[in-house]
Every structure is written in structure tokens, then in C-alpha cells.
Chain A
Amino acid sequence: MIASRRTFLKTAALSGASLVIGIKGTRLVNAASQAAGTAFQPSSWIRIDPDGLVSLTIGRTEMGQGVRTSLAMLLAEELEADWTRIKLVQAKPSPGSDLGTGGSDSIRSGWKTLRQAGAAAREMLISAAAARWKVDRETCTASHGKVVHASSGRTLGYGELVNDAARLPVPEKPPLKAREKFNIIGRRTARIDGRDIVTGRARYGIDTKIPGMLYASLERPAWNGAKLKKMDEDGARAVNGVRSIVKLPGGGVAIVASNTWAAIKGRAALSVEWDAAAPNEAFDSDAHVKRLEAASRETGFITRKEDAPPDTGPVTKTIEAIYHYPFYAHAPVETMNCVADVRENRCTIWAPTQAPERLQRLVGELLGIPRENVEVNVTLVGGGFGRRLGVDYAVEAAAISRAAKAPVQLLWSRADDMKHGHFQAASAHYLSAGFDANNKPVAWKHTKAGSYHNISPLDPEDQRNIEWYQGWSWGCYDVPYAFPAVQTAYVAVDLPVKHGPWRAVFAPSSVFAREGFVDEVAQSLGADPLTFRLDMLKGADVIKAGDATIDRRRLRRVLQTVRQKSGWGEKLEKGRGRGVACNAYFGYTYIAYVVDVSVDQEQHVRVDRVVAAVDCGLVVNPVGVEQQMESGIIWGISSVLGGEITFKGGSAQQNSFADFAVARMRDVPPIEVHIIGADAAEPFGMGEPPVPPIVPAITNAIFAATGKRIRRLPVRPEMLAG
């Protein structure tokens, strides 16, 4: 077993063998200068060993967004490290740590702290070398893991300097490199885990094996809150390899076995009957959609209101529409899984999770032990997309391990994963636009009816201010267009099934509705939809909407880029159409798409081409930006043309990729990505921003091809017939 971080830091400090700098928030601490016995537990640290190896703890979960590579790049740049001699260590939760991964925040938050840590270590190593050589430290430079004294031609490797450097104080404000001196940031950089992945050596949560581990499969209640009515265990007990059958407090029944197949077979042989849901408890998505639609017509909580200036003419014509967004599953290819080892008052967890602290807290609460007694090992994640911010599968695994008195791996089947997700919740959007007597659009209204996430407790009512409500309606209150009058609102509708963050969280539904309806406004004016958007982005260059600051110049620039690169305005043959949409993700990352589609005689839609422009500020790794653009675009193709989740009798109806379809290679068109604005001073996130505007760009293209306005997803041939 690997020594705990605390033990390690103490050992490192006492031996003085390595240079260890802890990062706690924005504070940097030299581990060697810590008084013995102080509880120094930084969530992240860098360490340079006498052999020159640089270790970096990564406080974020790698789930495909390339964060292990890009964060290492930030550190290596300032440290002037040898890129081939960097080792990554995954951070574990500790008091005060903040390891959650979501909201496309990793690069934005790591930009300052990691560079500072790297720069501090570099300065200490330079000082150590200058002292050894008895030269002015200004005459020394660092490069590729060495300090160089150019005039005398002497060099010392970092490893040779760590012992001396560890005795120096950590500089408080080490100088950061000017961007024209960057060697690593901005360079195309291969994924640090790439070789491990293509050789099958990379270890995900599901690949965890520990001595004595048993395997579990869990039969869950058919609907939320259902009670076990009848169970016959005989069939399951007869299965070779089944060790025990465990009833969980939440109502599930787990089969614990000596191997995965025995657990799966045992579960299949188990005969269980659940109490039928009472009609008022049996959630039905069709009925829910009707409730959402009615709610979207209510006034709701006003999240933004701007009255038209006095010289604006009165509204003489109004158009309105309701847009619907369905339930979706995250459907990562690695299903939910967790290894838990509960022993007396301790628990060790290995989990593919985006929320290690939440996991630690909830497992601690379940077992009635202090959270510090729950050690959480974060593994590589086979697709996160927000699903693994929920930690239900880890709490289940801990409950099973406690009952089975053995380390247990719980593995969800594909059907479990489809039916028991923390789904993207359905929502309905009422939109209206008012025009004055000259047919000028003068008023915009967007009311979102959605549901508060129920994977974590809600804030008390007295804390629910306007920012709180804006927080549930990204893409709605931050409409970037210059309508003289704007009103946005939010209406909450109860939703009993589990739902939570999905890739880009609240934005995809709002942006689908907003960008679809902006197209309808342009259509009603007979205006070109791209030119109309540019016209509506005139006026103030920078606007504030809640906590978002939107720079319309950046949004105009991505729109102008796709107009030019796509050949916008060309006449297309019958059955083909071209659509546009754009979005400013919190005013951070700006994206515009032009999409070409064709619709065949059976009304099947095919995406033929996507031209994209992205401004995510300074680019850390161009490969990562391109990958996330492609990924978000393909995610959107799945949303428009793939599956949805529906509920009957309280249960999700879908079971696998056969009935919840996601995009396959044949569905993917040529994608052209133009990165602009990379001369900016700081970087922004890329995991989520590509998702919201792609769906309306596709549905607007379908309108251009067919004249059918798409206000419901996913798009089915029957919606386009006639």
C-alpha cells in the first residue's frame, strides 16, 4: 500500500532528500520548513527527487478532457522541467481540499496556482545553484530540468540541487514567464496517458483489483422508493460462486460473489417483486412534459429584466413558441463502479469519481465514521460528463462491503446505468418576441421551466436570490442579443427521479431554445439568420448579465469566422440546408457553428459538415481544444439524432445503446475547427462550452432544408413528414 500523503510529506521533510512544495489554495509551502507535527496537508504538491524526477499531484479527475496533460503543462512551463521526466500522482481528499471536477473550471483555476508553484520551485533551484557556484543568481538560467551558468558553461541537474533548494524559503511572488517565452504552453502536446491507453495498461475504476476482493451486482427497486414485496433467494444461492445476498437500507438486493460473472448470474437468478407504484407516485415523462409546458407560461422568478428605452416604439406584433428539451442519460462507456473496503471504523475506496470530497462525506455518514477515516482513491474515469458528480454507486459499494465483511467491487450493468442515472432533466421554454410598428424586434422574453437538481440538498429558501435562480438557467438570463426590452424567468417543477449535471449542465436546453427562436425572429423578418445575429450583437461591446460578463466583440468574431469559412450564403440543392448558432459560455468561451445537413426522402437527417470557430482565450494545448470541439459536436449529434430517456410507471424505459442510441462513426461528418483569439491573456475551459450551440445549429439547418421548425428533441423522421 502506498504511504499516506501525510506520512510521505513528513518523511520527505525529515530526510531533506527531495524538494517538496505544497499548494494549499493560493499559498505555497516548503514541506521541509514545516515544524514537526504540524498538520500540513496540502491537496496538491510538487516534488523533485534527487534523480531529477518531477512528481505533480493532480487535484482534478481525468475523464477524457485531457486535464492531466494540460495541468502538467502549466507546471512544467514555469518549472522549466524536462517534459519526459514528469510523473503524475492523483490527489486524495484531505481537510480543506477541493478536488471536484466540473464546470470546465480546471484550467481556469489551475492557471495561476500551478504556474506559481512551478515558478517558485524554479527560483529556489536557481538560488541553490548560484550559491553552490558562488555566482550572482541573475547570471543563472533554468532549462529542461537543469540550471545553467552560461558564462562558465556549468550546469547542474535539478536532482543535484534539491537538497540545497529544500532549505530555502519559498518565494512569495516568483516571477512568471512572459508568454513569448512559453515553450510548452500553446504547443501541440500528446496526451500523457496515451501509450498506457493504447496498450491496455491504463487502469480505470473497473480495473481495480485488491487482495480478497469480491464482486457484487445490485438489483435496485423498480422505481424510486419502491419496497421489496417478495424475494426468492434459492435460485441465486444455487449459482456457483455466489457467496452472500445482502439487503441494502435503500431497498436494493446485492449478490456478492467470487467473480463478476457469478454476481451477474446470481442476480439474474434472483426472483424479486417490488410493490407497484401508487398512480400518484408513478412518474411518467409524458405527463411531466405537459406540466413543464404549462409552467413555462407562468411568470416565474424574474432572472433578468431590462425595460425598453423611452424612445422605443410600442409592441404591435408578437410571435411566440414553446421549446421542449427531453431527458438524456450520460451513458459513459465505463458504467458506474466502485471498490470499497470497509474495516471496523475505516473505509478505503477506489472510484471513478468527479466528486471525491462528496464521496468521502457521504460514505463517512453511511458508515457513521469520521470522513477522514474514508480514504478515497480517484481512478481514471471512462467518461464522466457530470454523471460522476453523483456518488450513489460508491455509497452502495460501501454498504455492500460492510455487510459482506470483505472488500467488494460493485459493477453496474449497462441497463443499471441507463435506468438509474442522474439524468439531464427535461425542461420547457416559453419564448416570445415583440416587434414595433416598423417591424423592428424590440422585446425578448424567455421563461424556462425546469427542475432543481436533487443529487445534493438545496439551499434554504432565504438564500434563494436572483443569482441563485440564474444559476438554474444558464443560457437563458445571459441572452447576448441587444433587444431593447429583455425579460427572462425561471419556474421550478418538481421532479422525483434522480437528475443532476450533464455535460454543460443547464445551458444545452436554454441555448437550444434561444438559438432556435432567434432564428424564428430572423425568419419572421425575412432576414438572414447569421446577419441578423450580428446585427443583434451591436450596441454595447461588453454587457453584464448576472455574474456573466459577455464580450459581444468575441461573439461577433466567431460568427464572422464561420460565415467566411463556411461559404455562408451559397445556394444549396434541394433537401440540403445550412444553419448557424452561437453561444458565450459564461462569457468565458465563445463558439459559433455553421452546420450543413441533408434530409433524404424518408426524412432521415444526416449532418454533412460542421464548421466551427472557438475563442477559449489563451490556448494551453491546441490538441485538447480540437478534441473537445469534436467531442462536443458529436455529443450534440447524439442529442439531435440519437436517443432520449422516457419514464413509465416511475422507471426509465431504456436499457442499452440499442434503445438509447448515441452517435457512431458513420454519423460523423467532416469537422473543421478554427481557433481564434488565442492571443488572450488567460485560458478558459473547453469540456462543456462546445455542447450548447451545436444542437440549435443542426436544428436550424434542418429548418433551412425542410421548412420544419424543430422545437422538440430528438428529431424523428415523422416530425419532418408532410
Chain B
Amino acid sequence: MAKTEVTINGTRHSVEADDDTPLLWILRDTLGLTGTKFGCGVGVCGACSVLENGEAVRSCQVPCSDLAGRTFVTIEGLSPDASHPCQKGWLEEEVVQCGFCQPGMIITACGLLKSKPNPTDADIDAAMSESVCRCGTYPRMRKAIRRAAEVMRSKGNP
């Protein structure tokens, strides 16, 4: 048990937790940021994805002992008003069904578009196939990502 400084959505937090506590539970239980979801706890479903330096990471696999000085963005930090191109793409393509996996999916899509602003269909499939949506929103997510990529390219910012 030690104090650790970590930055979430631009705010610095000093958190106290056991060394092996995953970031996921610090976000959800300690900081009350429940937009990041628990789906499996073993890194195979992607529901707990958050961004670090624009890359998607699985918060259930990041222990507290590795957090010091790091900076993460969760779904709550993407935009206050659903204005991020991925969120807009998701709404415009009418993606959501139950919606539970969708924060993790949107974060994963953001990670993809950071490394590949102009992704091919194969790039999209490869990046998104590491995550599970049991409702089967996959065809609409593909379209939403293509739409977001276009918007982000035309704005010239990722």
C-alpha cells in the first residue's frame, strides 16, 4: 500500500491502493469513473480500455505499482458533450445496442486512429477484433470509425 500520483482526464490524483490493484478498479471504485467497464478482468474483452498517449491500453492489466507519473484519458475525458469525432461517428451511424462495451470500443477506435489516421478495412478489423461486443454492433462500428477518420483527417488533428 503506497500513495501514487496519476493523472486522469487532466486531473492529478493521489491514490492509495495495494500495489497489485488494477487501474480499472482505481478508476471505478476509488475515483468513481464508471464509464470504464469491467468485462473479464483478464485482458481478453477490451471493455476496460483507456487511452495513454493516444494509445488504447487495458486498464485491468495495469497495476497500481506501475502508475506513478502516468497520464490516462477515460471515456469521460474524451469530450464533455459527445463531440469527439469517434463519439459523433458512433451516434451518426446508430451503433449502440446495450452499449456496455461501447466506451471500450470507442477508446480502442481512438487508439487505432492515432496510429493509423487512414486505416484500411483490414486495419479496422485487426484493431477492433481484440474486443468483444455480444450484441453484434460490429458492422456499424466499422462505418463509425471510417466516418470519424474522415472527420479527423479533414480537421487535421487526431
**Are both chains from one complex?**
yes
Residues of A within 8 A of B (CB): 62-66, 188, 190-191, 193-195, 197-204, 206-207, 209, 215, 240-241, 259-262, 264-265, 331-335, 380-385, 411, 413-414, 623, 627, 630-635, 656-658, 662-668, 670-671
**With contact pairs A200-B103, A385-B134 given, residues A656 and B42 touching in the complex (Cβ less than 8 Å):** yes
| CB-CB contacts below 8 Å: B110-148 with A | 124-126, 128-142
- When C-beta atoms are compared, the residue in chain B nearest to A690 turns out to be B136
B21 cross-chain contacts in A, Cβ below 8 A:
259, 261
**A193 proximity list for chain B (CB < 8 A):** 96, 99
Q: Determine whether the beta carbon of B90 is less than 8 Å from that of A198.
A: yes
Complex alpha-carbon distance, A627 and B133, angstroms: 13
Query: Which residues in chain B, 75-90, are within 8 Å of chain A measured between CB atoms?
Result: 75-76, 78-82, 87, 90
- Inside 8 A of B87's CB, which chain A residues have their CB? 198-199
10 example contacts (A-B, Cβ-Cβ < 8 A) are as follows A66-B97, A194-B94, A195-B82, A198-B82, A200-B36, A206-B38, A261-B18, A261-B21, A335-B38, A664-B131
Summarize B's interface: helix, strand, loop or mixed.
Answer: loop
Inter-chain contact A382/B37, CB cutoff 8 Å: yes
Which residues does chain A contribute within 8 Å of B37, judged by CB atoms? 204, 206, 333-334, 382
> Which residue of chain B lies nearest to A621 when distances are taken between CB atoms in the complex?
B94
Report the 3 A-B pairs with minimum CB-CB distance, sorted nearest first. A200-B35, A382-B100, A634-B136
| B28 within 8 A of partner (CB) | yes
Selected from B17, B44, B133, the residue in CB contact (under 8 A) with A261 is B17
Q: In the complex, A384→B96 CA distance in Å?
A: 15
Q: Is B68 an interface residue (CB 8 A)?
A: no
Q: Is the CB of A414 within 8 A of B39?
A: yes
Q: Which of B81, B131, B132 gathers most chain A CB within 10 Å?
A: B132
Number of interface residues of B (CB under 8 A): 63
Which chain B residue has the least Cβ–Cβ distance from A197?
B99
Given contact pairs A414-B42, A657-B45, enumerate 6 new A-B contacts (beta carbons under 8 Å).
A190-B94, A191-B94, A630-B140, A631-B137, A664-B132, A665-B142
Cα of A670 to Cα of B142 in the assembled complex, Å: 11
Q: Does B98 belong to the interface (CB within 8 Å)?
A: yes
Q: How far is the CA of A108 from the CA of B35 in the complex (A)?
A: 33
* Distance A207 CA – B130 CA, assembled complex (angstroms): 24
Is there an interface contact between A414 and B136, defined as CB atoms closer than 8 Å?
Answer: no
Tell me the smallest distance from the CB of A580 to a CB of chain B, in Å.
Answer: 21
**Shortest CB distance A84–B (Å):** 15
Determine the chain B residues whose CB is within 8 A of the CB of A411 once the complex forms.
38
With known contacts A200-B103, A261-B25, A631-B136, A209–B96 Cβ distance under 8 A: no
Which residues in chain B, 55-85, are within 8 Å of chain A measured between CB atoms? 74-76, 78-82
In the bound assembly, the distance between CA atoms of A564 and B78 in angstroms comes to 45
What CA separation (Å) do A191 and B82 show in the bound complex? 14
Task: List residues of chain B with CB within 8 A of the CB of A199.
Answer: 35, 75-76, 78-82, 87
With contacts A203-B34, A668-B139 taken as known, whether A197 is within 8 angstroms of B134 at the C-beta atoms is: no
**Beta-carbon contact of A656 and B40 below 8 Å:** yes
**How far is the CB of A495 from the nearest CB of chain B, in Å?**
24
Q: Could you tell me the distance between the alpha carbons of A623 and B133 in the complex, rounded to whole angstroms?
A: 18
A656 to B97, CA, bound (A): 22
CB–CB B91/A194 < 8 A: yes
Nearest CB in chain A: distance from B131 CB, A: 8
Q: Does B41 interact with chain A (Cβ within 8 Å)?
A: yes
CA distance A265 to B20 in the complex (A): 10
| Residue in A198, A215, A262, A634 whose CB lies within 8 Å of B138 | A634
Residues of A within 8 A of B139 (CB): 630, 668, 670-671
Given contacts A207-B34, A334-B37, A666-B126, contact A198 B22 (CB under 8 A): no
Roughly how many angstroms separate A666 CA and B135 CA in the complex, as a whole number? Answer: 15
A104 to chain B, nearest CB (A): 15
Tell me if A259 and B20 are in contact (CB < 8 A): no
Determine the chain A residues whose CB is within 8 A of the CB of B35 once the complex forms. Answer: 199-201
- A668 near B138: Cβ-Cβ < 8 Å: yes
Determine whether the beta carbon of A668 is less than 8 Å from that of B134.
Answer: no
Contacts of B133 in A (CB 8 A): 333
The answer to whether A657 and B132 have CB atoms under 8 Å apart is yes
- Residue on B nearest A196 in the bound complex, by CB: B99
Q: Which residues of A contact B129 (CB under 8 A)?
A: 664-667
Q: Which of A259, A381, A414 contacts B40 (CB 8 A)?
A: A414
Among residues of A, the one whose C-beta sits closest to the C-beta of B30 is: A259
**Are A663 and B44 in contact, CB atoms less than 8 angstroms apart?**
no
Q: How far is the CA of A201 from the CA of B87 in the complex (A)?
A: 13
In the bound complex, CA of A627 to CA of B131 (Å): 19
Interface centre among A65, A261, A662 (most CB of B within 10 A): A261
B113 CB, nearest partner CB in chain A, Å: 15
- Bound Cα distance from A133 to B72, whole angstroms: 60
Q: Is the CB of A414 within 8 A of B99?
A: no
B134, A665: Cβ atoms closer than 8 Å = no
CB pair A200–B34 under 8 Å, yes or no, is yes
Residue among B20, B40, B75, B78 with most chain A CB within 10 A:
B40
Q: Judge if B156 is at the interface, Cβ distance under 8 Å.
A: no
CB pair A666 B91 closer than 8 Å = no
Contact present for B91 and A633 (CB under 8 Å): no
Q: Tell me whether B47 is interfacial, beta carbon within 8 Å.
A: yes
Which one of B17, B20, B79, B98 contacts A63 once the chains associate, using CB atoms below 8 Å? B98
Q: Is B8 an interface residue (CB 8 A)?
A: no
Contacts of A202 on B, CB cut-off 8 Å? 99
| Chain B residue, CB-CB nearest to A622 | B94
Contact A261 B22 (CB under 8 A): yes
Chain A nearest CB, measured from B8 CB (Å):
12
B134 near A331 with CB under 8 A, answer yes
- Least CB distance from B157 to A in Å reads 19
Q: Is B10 an interface residue (CB 8 A)?
A: no
Give B107's nearest chain A residue, CB to CB. A200
Residues of B within 8 A of A633 (CB): 136
The residue that B97 contacts in the complex, of A631, A664, A670, with Cβ under 8 A, is A631
* Contact of B106 with A by CB under 8 A: yes
Evaluate whether A200 and B135 lie within 8 angstroms (CB atoms) in the complex, with A240-B18, A261-B22, A382-B37 already known.
Answer: no
B41→A64 contact, CB < 8 A:
no
Q: Chain B's nearest CB lies how many Å from the CB of A211?
A: 12
Give Cα A250–Cα B64 distance, bound, in whole angstroms: 35
Q: How far is the CA of A65 from the CA of B97 in the complex (A)?
A: 6
Q: Contact between B28 and A260 (Cβ–Cβ < 8 Å)?
A: yes
Measured in the bound complex, the distance between the Cα atoms of B125 and A667 in whole Å is 9
Give the chain B neighbours of A64 by CB distance below 8 A: 97-99, 135
**Which residues of chain A are near B138, meaning CB under 8 Å?**
630, 634, 663-665, 668
The reply to whether A413 and B41 form a contact with Cβ atoms under 8 Å apart is: yes
Bound-complex Cα distance A656 to B105 (A): 19
Alpha-carbon gap, A630 to B36, bound state (A): 25
Chain B residues with Cβ below 8 Å from A334 are: 37, 39, 98, 100
- Whether B101 is near chain A, meaning CB under 8 Å from some CB there, is yes
Q: With A259-B25, A260-B28, A382-B98 known to touch, is A663 a contact of B82 (CB < 8 Å)?
A: no
Q: Which residues of A contact B100 (CB under 8 A)?
A: 204, 332-334, 382-383
Q: Report Cα–Cα, A413/B60, bound state, in Å.
A: 13
Of all chain A residues, the one with the shortest Cβ separation from B79 is A199
**Which residues of B have CB within 8 Å of A635?**
136
Q: How far is the CA of A382 from the CA of B132 in the complex (A)?
A: 12
Is A657 touching B44 in the complex (CB atoms < 8 A)? yes
Report A-chain residues with C-beta under 8 Å of the C-beta of B91: 190, 194-195, 198
Among B45, B100, B142: residue with most chain A CB under 10 A: B100
Given contacts A333-B37, A657-B45, whether A665 and B125 have CB atoms under 8 Å apart is yes
Task: Report the nearest B residue to A240, measured CB to CB.
Answer: B18
> Once bound together, how far apart are the Cα atoms of A48 and B102, in whole Å?
33
Interface hub of B22, B97, B133, B142 (most chain A Cβ within 10 A): B97
Q: How far is the CB of A556 from chain B (nearest CB, A)?
A: 28
Q: Contact between A333 and B45 (Cβ–Cβ < 8 Å)?
A: yes
B106 → chain A closest CB, angstroms: 6
The answer on a CB contact under 8 Å between B42 and A240 is no
